[in-house]
Chain A
């Protein structure tokens, strides 16, 4: 059964720093990996989706990489801002599956 782990569970950084969030998964047979952002009490906003055949995806200050063979993904946030404060979740879709398996998230705080 697929398991997704996100480390650290919480991270606090000063504004302007570049940072990396980590996601690992146990079964490399995946269709895709998706990074989400969740603000307190709110729904999930999709940030980036990486297909299993891709190595990375970029959107603005965000860059997500995927190393399927080692079961790892990273989300790089450049020049962090207080507005980036949120919980970041990664989720993988297994090959041949409709199901998303989520990590428990990393709670990011960017201090002004």
Chain B
């Protein structure tokens, strides 16, 4: 089954403790992206990657890191999480950036930073 998977689905952590949220897709997509969703603010893009070893900042990259060493994986790293990073995070992928390619989303990771 074609899908985007994220792990963990739920995470509660403390301020400053480094964490990684994994994202993997099995559709051989070039493009992958991370979003966060907050009440009243909607979905905002954190980082995206157009292919292996090619990443760029989205609208809200501060406090996050990403890497794309393999085509299928795009982990999101929080080196020193803070309470304002408490949010619902989504990973997405797409075949490419063209007009007829839709984005597929993972199930989300709910992160709470205390």
Interface residues of A, dominant DSSP: strand
- The stretch among A13-21, A71-79, A95-103 that forms the contact with chain B is A95-103
Interface size of A in residues (CB-CB distance below 8 Å): 25
Number of residue pairs A-B, CB distance < 8 angstroms: 62
Cα-based distance from A51 to B107 in the complex (angstroms): 25
Select which of A32, A53, A89 is within 8 A of B43 by beta carbon. Answer: A89
Please give 12 more A-B residue pairs, beta carbons under 8 A apart, in addition to A52-B99, A89-B42.
A43-B106, A45-B105, A46-B102, A46-B103, A46-B104, A49-B100, A89-B43, A91-B43, A98-B33, A99-B45, A100-B33, A100-B45
A contact set with B: CB distance below 8 Å: 31-32, 34, 36, 41-46, 49, 51-53, 89, 91, 93, 97-100, 102-105
